[in-house]
Structure 1
């Protein structure tokens, strides 16, 4: 793409979004009985009962077991106040967790993915309570050795974390054990060695697999490609049973453009496929960003598949690759679960034409890229009380909805300005807004996407001040390119 094309106007951007390589109906959408996704606000078509015997399964090549193509990610369990258990400040709604797990199992979901780090340490316990009510051979438990902090790098601390997982999950074996977030940090190889090699923890896990207390051993990859390539180069020795990667239609070819430390999913998946290693997929929605698209993209997808949600395109993309064992989704609400069940009961694989359509959509989305925040909340808590994810997600929402005005003279400036500022004050309390960031940098090392969080917060704060004072600064409109300073 030429440099001139990188700075197309929003009007031309929207004009290009109106067309595409897929022949779409120009007719108005038929009348539907719609309800709203409680998180994305997306209209979801009510389609009646979901079949309980149509789940698509993939076969684990090592064990021959059938794994549901939809996997339940247990990072976002609901709380009693109907929120999401991410900060650890609220009690998990165990009754609702039980209902969600029961509904998932009833419809064929049998893979449940958790971690000691999820819900500030509460996810494994809630997951274990819900699953214990079902026969142990009716589901697979995946958890992780999440020894991120240097205080957990010792052999004693890491093994204690492993044994605590078994206790919290109320089981004497783990079906899928992961070395968690390999490649994170400023020096991925150095941290990998500290966490798993120097202390003998990887050797311990390999012996646990030999003993049968771990049925499948793999790792989840974030960031430093040297670590990914190194671990695959030793596949003959370690015999990885699976690897968890981030894969979606935006990251397929644009991950490195979004963040130079990331690697395109096309490469990651291809390296696993060459070796016959099953892929577990995380972030098929990029932390929900692919369900909160620009209105023109939403219209485009809805014209192609009126009865399917926008999110279903991303899930079908991830599930259509044959080397994928399961696609994880963090489903907080029953509406999430029901919508995803419709995508996988059974899966309708994407055609080559539909893949081209999504790749073109991704190319167009990159003209106005959002900040690559996946709402994992690893940057929290902020020592100065900022709600970092809420700030970044509000900015992304406004980019997608066209509420980031280009200039004071723009024809939509007043509407967009009001939408941005009013929405900002409603979604982020004033004392937790970007203006209070002092640039201490404590958040940035914990970000799996390697976002320069202080720089983004200061940029957003400058943009907000421009809107409030109408001293507009054009450079604050778009996210900072990763190769800019």
Structure 2
């Protein structure tokens, strides 16, 4: 039994409990603040036995509506101090808490966390009986399409995860590069046929794909259902992308409807649109809080994603304990949105579109940059400042001086100088990897010009 009288706690454990927010509050500096933690904060207790589950129509798997995305795991400095490494102790604690509260679906990839996510996930889950969880991973053969490399990557996943079968296996991020790239990655090399045989052998329990790209690619790959028999499909779905998808992405309303026609369960990624739906502009956050004062801003997005009956699970990359706890509140149990709620969120989505943010979801597929630029950190900082009114449209704006200082100080805090946008040479290596089809060099150069104008005090 826990000794409640023991009030001694070391700094490491204290920061874990607070999810890093103690650092932010202990050192209050000017800059664009990170409201994501606050946006996840709700006021009610975390239920322990009320998780909502959905049933896979093929396997009868009883899957938790909240799925754990292992893309953004907690980090600590490496022993030599030159880089960061996954904090396995913190990962174990998060996984333990998730399982204790009903979460049983864990999603990873060979490329997440610079290749460390699968192994970390395997270490955390190996401590549990194999029938207590479902694990999903992917064939992330983005840079080397050969059959040999693809099969090696597939088999390495079993080793990393310490399993002899994979519950949900995906062709990763199809659509990037068009149908020709899809064929090169999976058809011409015989890999899709190989994976179908692996499913027959029982080493894959469910075979599907995750999608970013054009409707033409989605339609062609989905049409293969007649021969491949896709068991599930992972799509980007949230209340903005439902009808207002950006770049080459397809409206989630269409994607979901096409899956529903075929009775294919949908796994949902990016319910928060890379965190942008938890870090909304102040007046939008206030409106959401007026409707449900006791709930977090983020909970609206999770309720939206979970309200569709053919959704099997909704993935969330929960780095901090408070994120996990808030999402557990939302789905324990889920209170589906009403028609009035859906109409309200459509109005909210249209308000969000008025803010000229860059559609970066912080997925880090663009990393590492060969020139050391921290691309996601730059774009995320810019978007935060847009939402908080700290990107002045003109040097004549009333709050120009305050916004200028907030942007510049926050930029230096968020991104080390050697990793800032000024070092981009426009090699375009990152562009083909971006699921949101962002012209990354163009945006980095634009942000760099804006930063230089602010530093030099130029009028604009």
TM-score (norm 1): 0.85
Matches within 5 A, 1:248-327: 248-255=238-245, 258-259=246-247, 261-327=248-314
Separation (CA, whole Å) in 1 of partners of 2:263 and 2:242 = 19
Residue deviations 1:277-305 (CA, integer Å, cap 9, x gap): 10000000111111111111111111111
Separation (CA, whole Å) in 2 of partners of 1:304 and 1:37 = 29
Q: Check the 8 A contact 1:36/1:43 in 2, yes or no.
A: no
1:394 aligns with 2:386: no
Match of 2:70?
74
Unaligned runs of 5+ in 2: 1-17, 22-33
Q: 1:89 to 1:429 in 2, by over 3 A?
A: closer
Separation (CA, whole Å) in 2 of partners of 1:164 and 1:158 = 10
Q: Check the 8 A contact 2:44/2:294 in 1, yes or no.
A: no
Q: Check the 8 A contact 2:175/2:214 in 1, yes or no.
A: yes
Separation (CA, whole Å) in 1 of partners of 2:161 and 2:368 = 26
Runs of 4+ in 1 over 6 A off after TM superposition: none
Q: How many Å apart are 1:215 and its aligned residue?
A: 0.7
Q: 1:45 to 1:337 in 2, by over 3 A?
A: closer
Counterpart of 1:167 (choices 148, 159, 164) is 159
User: How many pairs does the alignment contain?
Assistant: 427
1:176 aligns with 2:168: yes
Match of 2:220?
230
Q: 1:426 to 1:343 in 2, by over 3 A?
A: same
Q: Check the 8 A contact 2:134/2:167 in 1, yes or no.
A: yes
Q: How many Å apart are 1:472 and its aligned residue?
A: 3.7
Q: Check the 8 A contact 2:138/2:170 in 1, yes or no.
A: yes
Q: 1:46 to 1:286 in 2, by over 3 A?
A: closer
Q: How many Å apart are 1:465 and its aligned residue?
A: 2.1
**Which shows bigger deviation, 165-174 or 411-420?**
411-420
Question: For 1:405, what is the secondary structure of its paired residue?
Answer: coil
Residue deviations 1:39-96 (CA, integer Å, cap 9, x gap): 62425545454222100001100011211000000111112349xxxxx942211111
Match of 1:101?
95
Q: How many Å apart are 1:249 and its aligned residue?
A: 0.6
Counterpart of 2:128 (choices 115, 130, 134) is 134
1:90 aligns with 2:46: no
Q: How many Å apart are 1:143 and its aligned residue?
A: 0.6
Separation (CA, whole Å) in 2 of partners of 1:136 and 1:433 = 44
Separation (CA, whole Å) in 2 of partners of 1:44 and 1:275 = 35
1:335 aligns with 2:319: no
1:111 aligns with 2:113: no
Q: How many Å apart are 1:224 and its aligned residue?
A: 2.9
Match of 1:25?
none
1:205 aligns with 2:195: yes
Q: How many Å apart are 1:237 and its aligned residue?
A: 0.9
Residue deviations 1:381-404 (CA, integer Å, cap 9, x gap): 222222111111111001100111
Q: How many Å apart are 1:362 and its aligned residue?
A: 0.8
Separation (CA, whole Å) in 1 of partners of 2:206 and 2:350 = 37
Separation (CA, whole Å) in 2 of partners of 1:120 and 1:89 = 12
Match of 1:29?
none
Unaligned runs of 5+ in 1: 1-34, 83-87, 474-485
Q: 1:327 to 1:44 in 2, by over 3 A?
A: closer
Separation (CA, whole Å) in 2 of partners of 1:167 and 1:145 = 14
Counterpart of 1:193 (choices 183, 192, 196) is 183
Q: 1:167 to 1:289 in 2, by over 3 A?
A: same
Match of 1:383?
370
Considering Cα pairs closer than 8 Å and 6+ residues apart, tell me whether 1 or 2 has the greater RCO: 2
Residue deviations 1:161-203 (CA, integer Å, cap 9, x gap): 1111111111110110101110112xx2111111111111100
Residue deviations 1:400-434 (CA, integer Å, cap 9, x gap): 00111122222121211111112112212222221
Match of 2:3?
none
1:56 aligns with 2:48: no
